[in-house]
Amino acid sequence: MLRIRRDLLDAVLAHARRDHPDEACGVIAGPAGSDDPQRLVPMVNAARSPTFYEFDSAELLALYRDLDDRDEEPVVVYHSHTATEAAPSRTDVALASEPGAHYLLVSTRAEHDEVRSFRIVAGEATEEPVEVVEA
């Protein structure tokens, strides 16, 4: 189960709406080994695409150095879908590289945002509940 603070989820939703019609992407970092998302790190979608996201390689390298310096890890990897449901595509599953992370997907295709979370391990996506907690 993904437990996420309301303010972090609201920030992810705002990022997704701001970048629409392109997909938005980013990470929520937390203390290493904690499974506790604490710090939002919005990233640039280097693909600048409504159907695909890609982290900028230099920005991603800087992120991992920062995570190491802070003894953090990516607890949540998020991105938006602009025209489809909030479910991982085959490409999303194939490119998932953080087996310990929650993959949070947001769909901005309709008036009301759809939010779902998945674990993606060894090419298999499994949906999990999302519990939103107050800060």
Q: Are 109 and 83 in contact (CB under 8 A)?
A: yes
pLDDT, tens digit, 9 for 90 and up, residues 86-124: 999 999 999 999 999 999 999 999 888 899 999 999 999
Q: Are 4 and 131 in contact (CB under 8 A)?
A: yes
The predicted model gives 7-36 an average pLDDT of 97
| DSSP for 25-68, written as a single string | EEEEEEETT-----EEEEE-BTT--SS---B-HHHHHHHHHHHH
Q: Which fold has domain 2-133?
A: Cytidine Deaminase; domain 2 (3.40.140)
Average pLDDT, the chain: 96
Give the per-residue pLDDT at 68.
98
Give the per-residue pLDDT at 100.
95
Give the per-residue pLDDT at 131.
98
Asked if the bond preceding 21 is cis, omega within 30° of 0, the reply is: yes
Give the per-residue pLDDT at 113.
86
Give the per-residue pLDDT at 33.
96
| DSSP for 10-31, written as a single string | HHHHHHHHHHTTSPPEEEEEEE
